[in-house]
């Protein structure tokens, strides 16, 4: 091990930085809405983020209740008028109490989405830091006492101590 060349500190971090960039780009590309979504797709997508007022735990997209049908019709009208998804959700949230299934992506709602991701990233960073410190602090060579202990164990130690328990039985 002693004859292996040490890697420069910057060279050790380059693969990690590249991996972080790839993950960030993949998340950015994956989170972009599709531009070729039809009107029906948009209505279904918005309705799937809204609770059915008459149903327990069901979205307005999957419910057959009259109130869910009315909400889908309202969403359709607003989509045809050219309103954005956030504007439509905002209208519904203002009209009904606790109707949104997913929090908004801005303000306090953004924290709800970002906090778990940040916690996981921090946990992995903490583990990487701890493993680095552990690796750096571990001895790389055996001391003479360690060598003596291993030699005694390999030769069987003393005949009176056949199981290696020592003198303190």
64 domain-assigned: yes
Residue 155's H or E segment, with its range, is helix 144-155
Check whether 1 has a pLDDT greater than 50. no
**Domain boundaries, position 131:** 105-137
Contact criterion met (CB below 8 Å) for 119 and 112: no
52 domain-assigned: yes
Contact criterion met (CB below 8 Å) for 54 and 63: yes
Distance, in Å, from the CA atom of 24 to the CA atom of 21, rounded to the nearest integer, reads: 5
DSSP state of 33: P
The band of 120, judged by pLDDT with boundaries at 50, 70 and 90, is very high
Check whether 90 has a pLDDT greater than 80. yes
166 domain-assigned: no
Which residues touch 61 (CB under 8 Å, ≥6 apart)? Answer: 44, 47, 48, 50, 68, 72
User: Which pair of tokens denotes residue 57?
Assistant: 């735990």
89 domain-assigned: yes
Per the model's pLDDT, the better-predicted residue between 151 and 7 turns out to be: 151
9 domain-assigned: no
Per the model's pLDDT, the better-predicted residue between 81 and 101 turns out to be: 81
81 domain-assigned: yes
φ, ψ for residue 100, nearest 5 deg: -80, 135
Per the model's pLDDT, the better-predicted residue between 42 and 98 turns out to be: 42
Check whether 117 has a pLDDT greater than 80. yes
**pTM higher than 0.75:** no
């Amino acid at each position: 091990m002693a004859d292996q060349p040490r890697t420069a500190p910057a060279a050790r971090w380059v693969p990690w930085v590249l991996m972080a960039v790839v993950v960030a780009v993949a998340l950015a590309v994956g989170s972009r809405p599709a531009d070729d979504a039809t009107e029906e797709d948009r209505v279904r997508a918005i309705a799937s983020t809204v609770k059915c007022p008459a149903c327990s735990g069901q979205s307005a997209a999957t419910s057959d209740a009259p109130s869910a049908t009315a909400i889908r019709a309202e969403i359709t009208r607003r989509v045809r008028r050219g309103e954005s998804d956030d504007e439509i959700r905002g209208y519904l949230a203002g009209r009904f109490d606790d109707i949104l299934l997913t929090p908004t992506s801005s303000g306090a709602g953004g924290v709800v989405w970002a906090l778990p991701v940040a916690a996981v990233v921090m946990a992995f960073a903490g583990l990487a830091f701890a493993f680095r410190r552990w690796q750096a602090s571990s001895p790389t060579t055996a001391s003479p006492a360690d060598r003596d202990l291993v030699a005694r164990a390999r030769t069987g130690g003393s005949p009176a101590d056949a199981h290696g328990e020592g003198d303190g039985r």
